[in-house]
């Protein structure tokens, strides 16, 4: 559901250049010169061959060689400087885009932030940004290529206008046509890439199902299937590469055809002395460079188009943002001191008395799944459990209250005050939340718990104890400083859940919100956790999704959901008497 706004590639590029004005101007100056400089050796080559022909080389050659070497040194120095500046500029440009995208990612409602598979989203942070950076860098080169071509054509025209026109006109036409064909090759490339995807996908599936395939004794037919896909890929791959080679050869052919034309046209004039050997050499030398330049300009146009597509994808990723947000200026803090940001623990709202949800409704787009017209009230000190069958809308209700999905119906009031931006409001110290599958990050357990809070070991130990995690920490090789691995994979499922609970407790929020915290815990650990939560601080208020008995028994209020609506509200004893659905859930007889 990205809003269709036209993305102005050129404006974005100009704004990016503006963000790094000084470095960009330096780039422009350096790369224009880099393209224009080869005119010097061209002219020197001409002078050399002319004096060689005239028999005066002995006197001149020393001067020519000295100038030539000086040219080499100047070009080398300029190139190194240009690359250095370009590296800094390119990196900053990429960093700015990445930073703006990630800021937007954090600001989006959670459920909607990632529309694509993680791999797809990552490619926006990698390939798309690289495309833009490259195209942007090439603007300076293209300016140089244009300047160089213009000067070369003027110099050559002054030698022989007719030959210049005859050589360069077909050159430009052929290269433009070849560029056009470039889009066709993209189609072949896409097909080849798709065929590769089919092969790797099938191999991945095969090994993911190794056990099933073995048990079925179906090894031979599965491998034969993959062989078929590989064969298909070979055909497409060979076609793609051969076409690429053919296209490149068009470019070289232009060079050779041009040279042949020069030879034919100069046949008469060289014999008669109208065209000197030096002038002939200069023609061939410039022909090479100008072909390069024209080819480059053509590539640049393609790159700009690609960058436009990339901009599109990046802005699509920042759903609902205006394009200018992608390039907005920020302090990237790449240099100088970089202290950890102070996290404010100041109250952003008065202490919780009541949380009132009324008429809340949300449905997943295009479906009837969701929650409808939910009213519920949480008082300070309550332990409210939302329960119901699988798919009854428990998680959706929590997310709707927290603003993690965009609930369009109903409202939420905090002590009677209407909460407008719920996603921004329900953060510490007002509340903290642990989703059904909590996420940890590839850093130490300590950093995972603190997430930037500046608290000491004492606070950490208290939170870990409250989350029944203290024994686990003692068994870890580096205690709190143990790295938890990518996505917390080095911890067990239960440890991840309790670490996420400790992460919440550290923030001492008014309202604790758990979604099915205990799903990976055994009964004993779960009881310990609830016990400590209740005995530690009677002031805490909890809003919990659970279907397990220990949590239900502790509840001050149970909200029973059925197909997205509230079916009953009460305590265990009340609901056991009044609700058949609850009795079924409680006795676990719903499956028969």
Partner 1 sequence: MIPIRSYVSLLSRYLRRVKARMTVLAGFALGGIALQLLLPQLIGRFIDDAIGGAATDQLIPLALWFLVVALARQALAIATTWLAEDVGWRSTNELRSDLTRHVLDLDMDFHKEHTPGELIERVDGDVTALSEFFSAFVVKVVGNGLLVTGILILITFEHALVGLILSVFTLATLALMMAVQTVAIPWWKTQRASSAELMGFLGEQLSGTEDIRANGGVGFMVHTFTDILRRWLPRRVRSRLGFAMLWGTGIVHFVVGATLVMWLGTRYLGPGGLTLGGVYLIFHYTEMTRNPMDEIRSQMEVFQKAGAGIDRVTELMERRSNLDTSGTTAIPSGALSVVFDHMSFAYADDETSTVLHDIDISIAPGRVVGVLGRSGSGKSTMAKVLTRLYDPTQGRVLLGGVDPREASLHDLRRRVGMVTQDVQLFRTTVRNNLTFFDAAINDERLMSVLADLGLSNWLDSLPNGLDTMLESGAGGLSAGQAQLLAFTRIFLKNPGLVILDEASSRLDPATEAMIESAVAAVIMDRTAFVIAHHLGTVARADDIMIIENGTVIEFGERTTLQADPTSRFSRLLASGMEEVLA
Subset of 48-77 contacting partner 1 (CB under 8 A): 48-49, 52-53, 57-58, 61, 64-65, 68-69, 71-72, 75-76
Assess 375 for contact with partner 1 (CB under 8 A): no
- The distance of closest approach from Cβ of residue 203 to partner 1 in the complex, given in angstroms and rounded to an integer, is 5
Binding mask 431-460 for partner 1 (x = CB under 8 A): xxxxx--xxxxxx---x--xxx--------
Cα gap 327→432, rounded to integer Å: 32
- The distance of closest approach from Cβ of residue 284 to partner 1 in the complex, given in angstroms and rounded to an integer, is 8
Helix or strand (DSSP H, E) at 356 = strand 354-363
Tell me: cis bond preceding 202? Omega within 30 of 0 counts: no
Assess 486 for contact with partner 1 (CB under 8 A): yes
List 103, 134, 312, 574, residue binding partner 1 (CB under 8 A):
103
Assess 420 for contact with partner 1 (CB under 8 A): no
Cα gap 466→525, rounded to integer Å: 11
Binding mask 284-323 for partner 1 (x = CB under 8 A): x---------------------------------------
Assess 165 for contact with partner 1 (CB under 8 A): no
- The distance of closest approach from Cβ of residue 108 to partner 1 in the complex, given in angstroms and rounded to an integer, is 7
Contact 304, 9 (CB under 8 A): yes
Residues 551-580 binding partner 1 (CB under 8 A) are none
Residues 109-128 binding partner 1 (CB under 8 A) are 110-111, 113-114, 118, 121-122, 125-126
Assess 80 for contact with partner 1 (CB under 8 A): yes
Assess 25 for contact with partner 1 (CB under 8 A): no
Taking the CB of residue 323, how many other CB atoms lie within 10 A of it?
A: 19
Assess 163 for contact with partner 1 (CB under 8 A): no
List 9, 142, 164, 266, residue binding partner 1 (CB under 8 A):
266
Cα gap 101→323, rounded to integer Å: 11
DSSP symbols for 447-483: HHHHTT----HHHHHHHHHHTT-HHHHHHSTTGGG-B
Location of structure tokens 């529309």: 115
- List % helix, strand, coil for the chain (3-state, nearest 5): 65, 10, 25
The set of residues, in sequence order, having a beta carbon less than 8 Å from that of 285 and lying 6+ positions away, is: 41, 42, 45
Assess 173 for contact with partner 1 (CB under 8 A): no
Contact 362, 408 (CB under 8 A): yes
Helix or strand (DSSP H, E) at 380 = none
List 223, 309, 351, 417, residue binding partner 1 (CB under 8 A):
223
- The distance of closest approach from Cβ of residue 340 to partner 1 in the complex, given in angstroms and rounded to an integer, is 6
Q: Which stretch binds partner 1 (CB under 8 A): 6-14, 150-158, 222-230, 557-565?
A: 222-230
Q: What is the largest CA-CA distance in the chain?
A: 117
- The distance of closest approach from Cβ of residue 307 to partner 1 in the complex, given in angstroms and rounded to an integer, is 19
Contact 533, 546 (CB under 8 A): no
Binding mask 489-508 for partner 1 (x = CB under 8 A): -----------x--xx--x-
Assess 197 for contact with partner 1 (CB under 8 A): no
* Number of residues near partner 1 (by CB under 8 A): 144
Contact 183, 71 (CB under 8 A): no
CA neighbours closer than 13 Å in the CB half-sphere of residue 102:
12
- The distance of closest approach from Cβ of residue 113 to partner 1 in the complex, given in angstroms and rounded to an integer, is 5
Q: Which stretch binds partner 1 (CB under 8 A): 226-234, 291-299, 538-546, 575-583?
A: 226-234
**Parallel, antiparallel or unpaired: strands 565-570 and 557-562:** antiparallel
Q: What angle do CA 502, 507, 510 make, to 5 degrees?
A: 110
- The distance of closest approach from Cβ of residue 539 to partner 1 in the complex, given in angstroms and rounded to an integer, is 20
Nearest partner of 154 among 269, 36, 260, judged by Cα: 36
Contact 407, 397 (CB under 8 A): no
Cα gap 183→171, rounded to integer Å: 19
Assess 24 for contact with partner 1 (CB under 8 A): no
- The distance of closest approach from Cβ of residue 264 to partner 1 in the complex, given in angstroms and rounded to an integer, is 4
What residues does 512 pair with on adjacent strands? Answer: 432, 542
Cα–Cα distances (Å) from 97 to 21, 118, 126, 326, 327, in that order, read 16, 18, 11, 6, 6
- The distance of closest approach from Cβ of residue 502 to partner 1 in the complex, given in angstroms and rounded to an integer, is 11
Q: Which stretch binds partner 1 (CB under 8 A): 164-172, 242-250, 559-567, 573-581?
A: 242-250
Assess 267 for contact with partner 1 (CB under 8 A): yes
- The distance of closest approach from Cβ of residue 272 to partner 1 in the complex, given in angstroms and rounded to an integer, is 9
Q: Which stretch binds partner 1 (CB under 8 A): 430-438, 460-468, 469-477, 538-546?
A: 430-438
CB nearer to partner 1: give 91 or 181: 91
**Residue 92 burial by Cβ neighbours in a 10 Å radius (0-12, 13-18, 19+):** middle
**Residue 513 burial by Cβ neighbours in a 10 Å radius (0-12, 13-18, 19+):** buried
Assess 221 for contact with partner 1 (CB under 8 A): yes
- The distance of closest approach from Cβ of residue 531 to partner 1 in the complex, given in angstroms and rounded to an integer, is 21
Binding mask 343-372 for partner 1 (x = CB under 8 A): x-----------------------------
Q: Taking the chain, what is the end-to-end CA distance rounded to the nearest angstrom?
A: 41
Helix or strand (DSSP H, E) at 298 = helix 277-317
Assess 257 for contact with partner 1 (CB under 8 A): yes
Q: Which stretch binds partner 1 (CB under 8 A): 20-28, 165-173, 248-256, 352-360?
A: 248-256
Sheet with 409-414, strands from edge to edge, namely 370-379, 354-363, 409-414, 417-418
- The distance of closest approach from Cβ of residue 11 to partner 1 in the complex, given in angstroms and rounded to an integer, is 26
- The distance of closest approach from Cβ of residue 302 to partner 1 in the complex, given in angstroms and rounded to an integer, is 22
Cα gap 33→249, rounded to integer Å: 29
- The distance of closest approach from Cβ of residue 241 to partner 1 in the complex, given in angstroms and rounded to an integer, is 5
Cα gap 421→582, rounded to integer Å: 34
- The distance of closest approach from Cβ of residue 6 to partner 1 in the complex, given in angstroms and rounded to an integer, is 27
CB nearer to partner 1: give 80 or 351: 80
Assess 108 for contact with partner 1 (CB under 8 A): yes
Q: Which stretch binds partner 1 (CB under 8 A): 23-31, 241-249, 379-387, 578-586?
A: 241-249
């Amino acid at each position: 559901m990205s809003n269709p706004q036209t993305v102005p590639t050129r404006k974005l590029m100009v704004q990016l250049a503006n963000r790094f004005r000084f470095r960009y101007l330096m780039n422009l100056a350096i790369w224009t010169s880099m393209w224009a400089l080869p005119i010097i050796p061209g002219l020197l080559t001409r002078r050399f061959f002319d004096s060689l022909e005239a028999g005066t080389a002995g006197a001149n050659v020393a001067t020519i060689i000295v100038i030539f070497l000086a040219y080499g040194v100047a070009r080398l120095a300029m190139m190194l400087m240009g690359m250095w500046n370009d590296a800094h500029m390119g990196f900053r440009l990429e960093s700015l885009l990445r930073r703006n995208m990630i800021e937007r990612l954090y600001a989006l409602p959670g459920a909607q932030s990632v529309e694509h598979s993680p791999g797809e989203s990552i490619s926006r942070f990698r390939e798309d940004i690289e495309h833009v950076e490259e195209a942007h860098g090439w603007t300076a080169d293209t300016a140089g290529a244009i300047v160089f071509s213009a000067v070369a054509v003027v110099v050559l025209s002054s030698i022989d206008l007719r030959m210049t026109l005859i050589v360069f006109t077909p050159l430009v036409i052929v290269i433009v046509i070849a560029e056009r064909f470039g889009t066709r090759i993209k189609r072949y490339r896409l097909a080849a890439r798709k065929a590769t995807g089919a092969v790797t996908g099938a191999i991945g599936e095969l090994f993911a199902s190794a056990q099933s395939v073995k048990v079925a004794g179906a090894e031979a037919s599965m491998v034969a299937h993959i062989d078929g896909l590989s064969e298909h890929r070979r055909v497409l791959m060979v076609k793609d590469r051969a076409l690429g080679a053919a296209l490149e050869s068009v470019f070289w052919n232009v060079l050779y055809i041009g040279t042949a034309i020069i030879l034919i046209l100069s046949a008469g004039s060289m014999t008669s002395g109208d065209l000197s050997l030096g002038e002939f050499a200069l023609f061939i030398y410039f022909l090479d460079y100008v072909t390069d330049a024209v080819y480059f300009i053509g590539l640049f146009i393609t790159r700009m188009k690609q960058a436009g597509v990339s901009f599109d994808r990046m802005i699509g990723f920042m759903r609902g943002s205006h394009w200018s947000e992608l390039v907005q200026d920020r302090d990237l803090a790449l240099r100088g001191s970089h202290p950890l940001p102070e996290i404010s623990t100041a109250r952003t709202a008065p202490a919780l008395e009541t949380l009132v949800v009324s008429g809340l409704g949300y449905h997943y787009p295009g479906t009837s799944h969701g929650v409808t017209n939910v009213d519920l009230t949480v008082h300070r000190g309550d332990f409210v459990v939302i329960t119901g069958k699988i798919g009854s809308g428990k998680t959706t209700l929590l997310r709707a209250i927290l603003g993690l999905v965009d609930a369009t119906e109903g409202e939420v009031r905090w002590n009677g005050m209407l909460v407008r931006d719920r996603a921004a409001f329900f953060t510490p110290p007002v509340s903290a939340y642990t989703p059904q599958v909590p996420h940890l990050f590839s850093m130490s357990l300590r950093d995972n718990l603190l997430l930037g809070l500046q608290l000491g070991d004492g606070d950490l130990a208290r939170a870990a104890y409250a989350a029944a995690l203290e024994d686990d920490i003692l068994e870890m090789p580096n205690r709190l400083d143990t790295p938890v691995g990518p996505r917390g994979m080095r911890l067990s499922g239960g440890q991840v859940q309790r670490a996420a609970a400790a992460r919440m407790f550290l923030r001492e929020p008014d309202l604790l919100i758990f979604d099915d915290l205990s799903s990976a815990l055994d009964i004993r650990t779960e009881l310990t956790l609830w016990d400590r939560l209740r005995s530690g601080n009677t002031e805490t208020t909890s809003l919990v999704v659970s279907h397990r008995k220990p949590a239900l028994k502790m509840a001050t209020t149970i909200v029973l959901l059925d197909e997205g609506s509230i079916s009953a509200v009460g305590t265990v004893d009340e609901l056991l008497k009044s609700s058949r659905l609850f009795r079924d859930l409680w006795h676990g007889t719903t499956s028969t």
